[in-house]
């Protein structure tokens, strides 16, 4: 009987060790953001670095830039992903061979996505050449600067290309299941397919859609590759600026990096709690629908 | 195997499901565990098989405690309601599962499986896949798989509940036949009283995590220990009355009895009530025609009384709703329950 | 009805084009020598870039081996630890279960940059910094949530019923798991393995910071070419590594399909 009580903890042991390492990393980061670096003789906690993060112009612009690109790309990807799912579910094409293609962008590393974006969207990329072919522009320089621009259009486009398929992958099977049972009931009761989808299927998938949104939002907020490879020199993305401060030869710059990271952690932890709440609700809903004996 | 359970308490997710169950099953017996869904039947057999932790109490097999013995070493095999055939194996591999675990020689295994398939009337089905089988065939395979494990105690958890009536009867007969031939000790869970009465050597009535009564089908039917136990076998008429000096009197009359003086209730089954056409005192307020039999509802001094008659008798009586009739009871068949003395 | 079919068909085709076009352009770049504005098609093709990459085949092979090796190790560990975690969370009730479930998904919500900069001090102290082990551990932390997610769903869907049945038929706890759960869960295990592999294979920042340039993976090699504007060499590297990845993924998919078609494993003959 004692073995049985201990069993779940034994099974969790490797995960607990990894989690300990993970939390230690986060704690160290938070500690440094509060100015705690015993190696440099800094032992007094202070909020100065955060204060600077919210006043130093390049830092403020980095925070805003990252929040904007992450939010815009995650919103577009989620909306597009759900829209594609809706069309697939309603037209009963969820098992079409072409749908399998969504797994392709998921498997493409972000650095390759950056390369693809350059090949397509730069001022001498394929899109610019097409624009020229159709007589929209004559010179390369007339093509809008999508890359290395202050708005991060190229970064957003790259994220949308990569994350829309992720949302489809994340949501589609659940949506197809729900629509297959309850959605058809609604259609049977007289609702049109779109109405049934919006009134029945979509609300039931809401938690999963929201958690998918949170995953890609937080990812885009803190990812380094795309803004590093496709972003402008100013404003810099939050993680890019944080890394510059982090590797600064003067170790006293490190708390700035950590304060920037602290801002991300704050947003992340709120997202994590929201994600966890959503997952619990989903698990509870599944249990309810499964019924208990 | 002789099974003996005493004061068994089992909790599921901190809620007590079994509140002190006492039950004995004799070696070679077929015991039916009868009760409504949610009364704890499944919890009881899962506890016997070692799949659930026991809070307190004792489960003994041939005098030796089973508590702490892992499920695979108890020899108590369950055929679950949902059958739980292994979908990734053929019929043969399902049945041979326990023999493969025991590393029996292949030739012997093949012979045993073939014989069991014949026993459950599915010869030659060994190579089939599970998803190619009908519901009735799956039930037979599940039964054969359980038998192949050479159970000391076979536990059947409503395995026929998904079948239509004809197949149910057939499976019931098959189970009884195999039980006899192989000298098994069997506990059959069911919520169907007909099935319990027809198949079992003894019936244990279960309600709300307790055993209400345990006895032969005849005992359970004719001598219920409580109103709940009596009610389990269909409608029963309850006639409040008094016993005094060896006579019981109630609204239907008075007859001799062997009861101590005081308030008693006589419970009489509908078939032991007799409508007397041409008599008076009772109005026919309902006739439910059930085919071979019919149930009359007669309302009068004793309240609304249910009275069963054969279809032929009903036709002969010529009764109609609203008509008048007399009513008699067969006092010899009455069961008496003591009422708390009221002041 | 017909209108709806064509409509959704057009959408599917458009989606497929958006996904495939960039990758085809990349393939063209592999063989491109000169592609002047504003032509839609390169003027000169050559194998120069391919040859240049293959010329340093020693380096290519080494990077391929360490990159694929690290990702395979991460995927295997993710599936193993993920399965243990999923079973603990789905099949048992125990104090702290909620916290365990929370921590399994936490890395999904904490960007790699934040974690990597925070944990480096700890990594140095543990001797994991600039080592292959360290990179594997770091990748594992970020692959695991996806594996746990898939395996939790799979374990929940399979339920405990068949294992219970195997137990009462005489199988030990481990035996029931091995003979019933493992074969039935194989497609999910393969899916989790693929996903973990992809997540690990895509990592750049974790490898950059915690590998410290000592651990050469595909992304490490590829980024300098991209920064240097050498589109054709970057394309060659990307094409080779994507080909390897897709080959592996197709292999897993085929295995999984085969398994499903045969209804799982067959133990006795």
**Cβ(B270)–Cβ(B295) under 8 Å?**
yes
What string of DSSP letters covers A67-96?
HHHHHHHHHHHHHHHHHHHHHHHHTT-TT-
Q: Chain B, 306-335: which have a CB under 8 Å from a chain C CB?
A: none
The C-alpha atoms of residue B119 and residue B162 are separated, in whole angstroms, by 21
Whole-angstrom CA distances from A161 to A108, A112, A171, C30 are 11, 12, 17, 21
Tokens of B142: 């599940």
List, in sequence order, every residue forming a beta bridge with B187; answer none if it has no partner: B31, B155
The C-alpha atoms of residue C46 and residue C34 are separated, in whole angstroms, by 9
Structure confidence by residue, pLDDT tens digits, B28-63: 999 999 998 889 999 999 999 999 989 999 999 999
Question: Which residue among C87, C91, C118 sits closest to A28, beta carbon to beta carbon?
Answer: C118
Identify the pLDDT of residue A286: 65
Does residue C246 have a pLDDT over 50? yes
**B64: contact with C, CB 8 A cutoff:** no
Nearest-CA neighbor of B207 among B23, B17, B40, B11?
Answer: B40
The C-alpha atoms of residue B265 and residue B262 are separated, in whole angstroms, by 10
Inter-chain touch A15–C12, beta carbons under 8 Å = no
> pLDDT band at C180, cuts 50/70/90?
very high
- CA atoms within a 13 Å half-sphere pointing along the CA-CB vector of A141: 0
Point out the least confidently predicted range of B289-298, C43-52, C257-266. Answer: C257-266
Determine the distance in angstroms separating the CA of C220 from the nearest CA of chain B, rounded to an integer.
Answer: 44
Point out the least confidently predicted range of A188-202, B232-246, B257-271. Answer: A188-202
Inter-chain touch C238–A9, beta carbons under 8 Å = no
Q: Which chains touch B (3 or more CB pairs under 8 A)?
A: A, C
Q: What percent of chain B has pLDDT over 90?
A: 58
Residue of B nearest to C164 (CA): B51
**Cβ(B263)–Cβ(B242) under 8 Å?**
yes
Structure confidence by residue, pLDDT tens digits, C75-111: 999 999 999 999 999 999 888 888 998 899 889 888 9
Contacts of A56 (CB under 8 A, 6+ apart): none
Which of helix, strand or coil describes residue B189? strand
Inter-chain touch C111–A87, beta carbons under 8 Å = no
Question: Which residue among A5, A115, A261 sits closest to C117, beta carbon to beta carbon?
Answer: A261
What's the rounded mean pLDDT across residues B200-207?
94
DSSP letter at A221? H
Does residue B341 have a pLDDT over 80? no
The C-alpha atoms of residue B262 and residue B58 are separated, in whole angstroms, by 40
Tokens of C163: 């294992």
What's the rounded mean pLDDT across residues C132-150?
96
Does residue C262 have a pLDDT over 70? no
Domains of chain A: 59-287 (1.10.3720.10)
Nearest-CA neighbor of C146 among A170, A63, B185, B227?
Answer: A170
Tokens of B80: 């679950």
Identify the pLDDT of residue C3: 63
Identify the pLDDT of residue A275: 81
Nearest-CA neighbor of C195 among C138, C239, C136, C151?
Answer: C151
pTM of the entire predicted model: 0.87
Which residues of chain C are within 8 Å of residue B50 when distances are taken between CB atoms? 167-168
Q: Would you give per-residue pLDDT tens digits along chain A (293 residues)?
A: 334 678 899 999 999 999 999 999 988 888 888 888 777 777 888 888 888 878 888 888 998 899 999 999 999 999 999 999 999 888 888 888 888 888 899 999 999 999 999 999 988 888 889 988 888 888 888 888 888 888 889 999 999 999 999 999 999 988 888 888 777 777 777 777 788 888 888 888 888 899 899 999 999 998 999 999 998 888 899 999 999 999 999 888 888 888 888 888 888 778 878 888 887 887 777 666 543 33
Which residues of chain C are within 8 Å of residue A108 when distances are taken between CB atoms? 23, 202, 242
Residue of B nearest to C266 (CA): B89
Determine the distance in angstroms separating the CA of A41 from the nearest CA of chain C, rounded to an integer.
Answer: 16
Structure confidence by residue, pLDDT tens digits, B150-171: 999 999 998 888 778 888 888 8
**B70: contact with C, CB 8 A cutoff:** yes
Does residue B343 have a pLDDT over 70? no
> pLDDT band at C261, cuts 50/70/90?
low
DSSP letter at C180? I
Inter-chain touch C19–A8, beta carbons under 8 Å = no
Contacts of C202 (CB under 8 A, 6+ apart): A108, A109, A110, A111, C219
Q: Tally the residues of chain B.
A: 343
Q: Chain C, 96-125: which have a CB under 8 Å from a chain A CB?
A: 97-98, 100-119, 121-122
The C-alpha atoms of residue A256 and residue C23 are separated, in whole angstroms, by 39
Identify the pLDDT of residue C141: 97
Question: Which residue among C168, C184, C269 sits closest to B78, beta carbon to beta carbon?
Answer: C168
**Cβ(B328)–Cβ(B302) under 8 Å?**
no
Interfacial residues of C (vs B; Cβ cutoff 8 Å): 93, 161-162, 164-173, 175, 179-180, 183-184, 262-269
The C-alpha atoms of residue B329 and residue B275 are separated, in whole angstroms, by 9
Structure confidence by residue, pLDDT tens digits, C46-56: 888 888 888 87
Q: Cβ–Cβ contacts within 10 Å for residue A128, how many? A: 24
Whole-angstrom CA distances from A267 to A212, A222, A272 are 16, 10, 9
What's the rounded mean pLDDT across residues C150-161?
93
Residue of A nearest to C36 (CA): A124
Identify the pLDDT of residue A194: 82
Q: What does pLDDT average to over chain C?
A: 89
Q: Tally the residues of chain A.
A: 293
Inter-chain touch A1–B42, beta carbons under 8 Å = no
Point out the least confidently predicted range of A155-159, A242-246, C59-63, C234-238. Answer: C59-63
Which residues of chain B are within 8 Å of residue A293 when distances are taken between CB atoms? 42
| Dihedral angle sign, alpha carbons of residues A25, A29, A34, A35 | positive
Q: What does pLDDT average to over chain B?
A: 90
The C-alpha torsion from B40 through B216 and B66 to B77, rounded to 10°, is -70
Cβ-in-10-Å burial (0-12, 13-18, 19+) of B222 comes to: middle
What string of DSSP letters covers A230-287?
HS-SSSPPHHHHHHHHHT-SSGGGHHHHHHHHHHHHHHHHHHHHHHHHHHHHHHHHHH
Structure confidence by residue, pLDDT tens digits, A123-157: 888 888 998 888 888 888 888 888 888 888 999 99
**C21: contact with A, CB 8 A cutoff:** yes
Q: What percent of chain C has pLDDT over 70?
A: 95
Which residues of chain C are within 8 Å of residue B74 when distances are taken between CB atoms? 168
The C-alpha atoms of residue B53 and residue C243 are separated, in whole angstroms, by 53
| Dihedral angle sign, alpha carbons of residues C188, C193, C196, C197 | negative
Domains of chain C: 52-268 (1.10.3720.10)
Tokens of C203: 């990592």
């Amino acid at each position: 009987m004692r073995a049985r009580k201990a069993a779940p903890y034994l099974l969790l042991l490797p995960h607990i060790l990894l989690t300990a390492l993970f939390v230690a990393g986060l704690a160290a980061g938070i500690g440094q953001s509060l100015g705690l670096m015993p190696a440099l003789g800094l032992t007094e906690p202070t909020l100065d670095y955060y204060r600077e993060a919210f006043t130093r112009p390049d830092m403020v612009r980095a925070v805003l830039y990252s929040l904007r690109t992450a939010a815009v790309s995650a919103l577009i990807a989620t909306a597009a992903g759900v829209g594609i799912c809706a069309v697939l579910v309603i037209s009963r094409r969820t098992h079409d061979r072409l749908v399998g293609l969504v797994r392709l962008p998921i498997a493409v590393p972000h650095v390759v996505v950056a390369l693809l974006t350059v090949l397509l969207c730069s001022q001498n990329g394929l899109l610019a050449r097409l624009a020229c072919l159709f007589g929209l522009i004559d010179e390369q320089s007339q093509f809008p600067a999508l890359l290395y621009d202050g708005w991060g259009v190229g970064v957003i486009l790259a994220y949308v290309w990569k994350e829309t398929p992720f949302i489809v992958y994340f949501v589609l099977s659940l949506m197809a299941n729900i629509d297959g049972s309850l959605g058809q009931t609604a259609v049977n009761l007289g609702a049109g397919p779109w109405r049934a989808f919006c009134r029945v299927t979509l609300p039931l998938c809401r938690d999963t859609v929201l958690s998918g949104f949170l995953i890609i939002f937080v990812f885009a907020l803190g990812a380094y590759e795309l803004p590093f490879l496709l972003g402008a020199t100013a404003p810099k993305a939050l993680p890019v600026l944080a890394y510059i401060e982090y590797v600064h030869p003067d170790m006293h710059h490190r708390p700035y990096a950590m304060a920037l990271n602290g801002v991300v952690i704050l947003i992340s932890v709120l997202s994590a709690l929201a994600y966890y709440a959503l997952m619990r609700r989903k698990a509870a809903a599944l249990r309810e629908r499964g019924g208990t004996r | 195997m002789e099974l003996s359970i005493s004061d068994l308490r089992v909790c599921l997710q901190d809620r007590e499901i079994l509140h002190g169950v006492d039950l004995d099953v004799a070696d070679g017996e077929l015991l039916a565990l009868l009760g409504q869904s949610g009364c704890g039947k499944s919890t009881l057999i899962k506890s016997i098989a070692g799949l659930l932790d026991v809070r307190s109490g004792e489960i003994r097999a041939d005098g030796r405690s089973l508590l702490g013995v892992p499920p695979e070493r108890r020899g108590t095999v369950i055929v679950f309601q949902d059958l739980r055939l292994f979908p990734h194996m053929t019929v043969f591999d399902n049945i041979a599962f326990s023999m493969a675990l025991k590393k029996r020689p292949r030739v012997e295994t093949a012979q045993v499986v073939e014989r069991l398939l014949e026993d459950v009337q599915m010869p030659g089905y060994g190579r089939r896949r599970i998803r190619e089988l009908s519901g009735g065939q799956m039930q037979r395979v599940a039964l054969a798989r359980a038998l192949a494990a050479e159970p000391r105690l076979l536990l059947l958890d409503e395995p026929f509940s998904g079948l239509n009536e004809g197949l149910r009867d057939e499976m019931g007969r098959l189970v009884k036949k195999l039980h006899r031939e192989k000298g098994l000790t069997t506990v059959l869970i069911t919520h169907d009283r007909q099935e319990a009465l027809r198949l079992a050597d003894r019936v244990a009535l279960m309600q709300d995590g307790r055993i209400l009564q345990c006895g032969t089908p005849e005992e359970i039917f004719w001598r219920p220990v409580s109103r709940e136990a009596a009610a389990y076998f269909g409608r029963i008429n309850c006639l409040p009355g008094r016993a005094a000096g060896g006579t019981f009197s109630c609204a239907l009359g008075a007859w001799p009895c062997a009861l101590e003086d005081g308030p008693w209730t006589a419970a009489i089954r509908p078939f032991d009530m007799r409508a007397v056409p041409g008599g008076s005192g009772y109005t026919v307020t309902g006739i439910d025609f059930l085919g071979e039999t019919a149930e009359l509802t007669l309302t009068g001094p004793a309240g609304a009384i249910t009275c069963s008659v054969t279809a032929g008798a009903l036709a002969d009586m010529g009764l109609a709703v609203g008509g008048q009739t007399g009513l008699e009871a067969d006092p010899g068949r009455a069961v008496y329950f003591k009422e708390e003395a009221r002041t | 009805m017909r209108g709806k079919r064509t409509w959704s068909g057009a959408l599917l085709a458009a989606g497929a084009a958006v996904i495939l076009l960039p990758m085809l352009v990349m393939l063209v770049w592999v063989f491109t020598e000169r592609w002047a504005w504003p032509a839609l098609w390169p003027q000169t093709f050559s194998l120069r870039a391919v040859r240049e990459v293959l010329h340093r085949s020693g380096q290519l092979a080494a990077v391929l081996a360490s990159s694929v090796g690290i990702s395979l190790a991460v995927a295997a560990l993710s599936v193993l630890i993920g399965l243990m975690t999923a079973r603990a969370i789905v099949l048992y009730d125990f104090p702290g279960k909620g916290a365990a479930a929370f921590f399994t998904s936490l890395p999904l919500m904490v960007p790699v940059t934040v974690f990597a900069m925070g944990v480096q001090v700890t990594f140095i102290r543990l001797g994991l910094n600039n080592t292959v082990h360290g990179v594997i551990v770091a990748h594992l932390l970020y692959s695991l949530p996806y594996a746990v997610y898939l395996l939790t769903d799979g374990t929940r869907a399979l339920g405990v019923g068949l294992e219970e049945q195997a137990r009462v038929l005489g199988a030990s706890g481990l035996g029931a798991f091995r003979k019933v759960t493992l074969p039935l869960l194989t497609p999910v295990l393969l899916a989790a393995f693929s996903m973990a592999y992809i997540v690990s294979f895509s990592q750049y920042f974790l490898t950059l910071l915690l590998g410290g340039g000592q651990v050469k993976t595909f992304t490490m090699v590829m980024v300098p070419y991209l920064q240097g504007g050498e589109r054709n060499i970057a394309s060659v590297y990307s094409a080779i590594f994507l080909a390897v990845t897709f080959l592996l993924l197709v292999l897993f998919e085929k295995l999984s399909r085969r398994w499903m078609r045969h209804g799982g494993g067959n133990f006795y003959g």
